[in-house]
Chain A
Amino acid sequence: MAFKWRKWNNILHRDIGYLAVGLTIIYAISGIAVNHIDQWNPNYVISQETIKIHIPENAKTGRIIDETTRQLNIEVPVESSFRPEPGRIRIFYTNQYTVDLNTKSGIGTIERVKERFLLYDFNFLHLNYAKKLWTYAADVYAVALLFLAVSGLFVLKGRKGFKGRGKWLTAIGIILPVIFLIIYK
């Protein structure tokens, strides 16, 4: 009895397709986001505000930090501080606030960093920040996509299958990126 390859092709295409839905949505959204990294920050929302506070003359680092925290009503603890140059201080708070201050004029900025909801996690997976085991999981997903692409060619028979319109649409799908390569490479 002949092996019913099309039946198994379609079964596997269907089931692997279902398995791939979640990650394909994640990768697609993340792909669009990081594709425009020159126009925006796909991982973080960074807000900055100019501040002016009063720093007592000749105040030492500890006093400067206390005054900054008090005058800006920051309620979260200080992580650490750093002096990039004389007359400047950078204070890191645990809730992702960073204050950058001119210690003479009291003028500076307060910056708040927040991970973009869902998008940070999507990018984390898509761009493989974790490395380790996720590298292999991503490889398996890539192989699954490869299978879906090839098996999809043979799901349908006849006019709507690969031998009909399918071959033309597939050819267009290959020629388009080649054209971009020729133009831009």
Chain B
Amino acid sequence: MCAGFYFKLLFREVVVMLNISKWLIIITVVFSATSLLAEEDGKVYGKGVTLEDTTQISDILATPDDYVGQRLMVKGRIVDVCKKRGCWMELAGDQEFQTLRIKVKDGEIVFPLQSRGKLALAEGVFEKIELSMEQTLQRMKHHAEEHGETFNAEEVKEPMTYYQLRGLGAVIFE
């Protein structure tokens, strides 16, 4: 009688698990299919892009203060990515020697290192960051460490100001 009772219990458990598994499989297949369809034009990161028109990076860098606080979409080749946390990427501008950093909070979006060299769209809010001297020294030291360069604090004479796009979403094309 004991064995019969436990077999009945086990059978009931298996039936419940199979029912749950069936729904899990259905949900996974539906969501995977939806994701694949959405990504056929490029892989979407974060909230993707919503604006219709891009702003040239060269225009932004020519008069950056005019764009501070604005939501912009930019297009460019990914020329660098944060190697540790993927928390920023740099897009090459439409003109030579120009780049714009797209920065996100750690973990919010993770840009893959493998995306260097690929074309991307990025959307976000353009911001101006004014650092104190101490912050400038920390930032330059971190930058040097990231790029395997030596850092000499005495070469830093004044606090820095820089511009970046606080990223909300991106699309990276294969």
Contact A37 B114 (CB under 8 A): no
Q: Within 8 Å CB of A92, what residues of B? A: 79, 116-117
With A and B bound together, what is the CA distance between A80 and B28 in angstroms?
Answer: 36
A22 interfacial contact with B, CB 8 Å: no
Contact A133 B31 (CB under 8 A): yes
The listed residue (B9, B79, B110, B113) touching A127 by CB distance below 8 A is: B110
Decide: A37 near B117, CB < 8 A? Known: A82-B79, A84-B97.
no
B107 interfacial contact with A, CB 8 Å: yes
The listed residue (A41, A113, A131) touching B84 by CB distance below 8 A is: A41
Size bin of chain B's contact surface? 20 to 34
Decide: A128 near B107, CB < 8 A? Known: A48-B148, A113-B114.
yes
Decide: A83 near B97, CB < 8 A? Known: A11-B13, A41-B83, A129-B110.
yes
Q: How many residues on A have C-beta within 8 angstroms of the other chain's C-beta atoms?
A: 29
Nearest-CB distance from B14 to chain A (Å)? 10
Nearest-CB distance from A4 to chain B (Å)? 11
With A and B bound together, what is the CA distance between A15 and B20 in angstroms?
Answer: 13
Contact B31 A90 (CB under 8 A): no
Interface of chain A residues 158 through 173 with chain B (CB within 8 A): none
A85 interfacial contact with B, CB 8 Å: yes
Interface of chain B residues 71 through 126 with chain A (CB within 8 A): 77, 79, 83-86, 92, 96-97, 99, 107, 110, 113-114, 116-119
Contact A132 B77 (CB under 8 A): no
Nearest-CB distance from B85 to chain A (Å)? 7
Decide: A84 near B99, CB < 8 A? Known: A79-B118, A127-B107.
yes
Nearest-CB distance from B89 to chain A (Å)? 13
Smallest CB-CB separation from A84: which chain B residue?
B97
A177 interfacial contact with B, CB 8 Å: no
If A82-B92, A132-B31 are given as contacts, then 16 extra A-B residue pairs at C-beta distance below 8 Å, sorted by A number, are: A37-B85, A41-B84, A46-B83, A80-B117, A82-B79, A83-B97, A92-B79, A92-B116, A92-B117, A96-B113, A96-B114, A98-B116, A113-B114, A115-B114, A129-B86, A133-B31
Residues of chain A at the chain B interface (Cβ within 8 Å): 11, 15, 37, 41, 43-44, 46, 48, 79-80, 82-86, 90, 92-94, 96, 98, 113, 115, 127-129, 131-133
Residues of chain B at the chain A interface (Cβ within 8 Å): 9, 13, 17, 27-28, 31, 35, 46, 77, 79, 83-86, 92, 96-97, 99, 107, 110, 113-114, 116-119, 148
Instruction: Name 27 A/B residue pairs within 8 A (Cβ), A-sorted.
Output: A15-B17, A37-B84, A41-B83, A43-B84, A43-B113, A48-B148, A82-B79, A82-B92, A83-B97, A84-B97, A85-B97, A90-B79, A92-B79, A92-B116, A92-B117, A96-B113, A96-B114, A98-B116, A98-B117, A113-B113, A127-B110, A128-B107, A129-B110, A131-B46, A132-B35, A133-B27, A133-B31
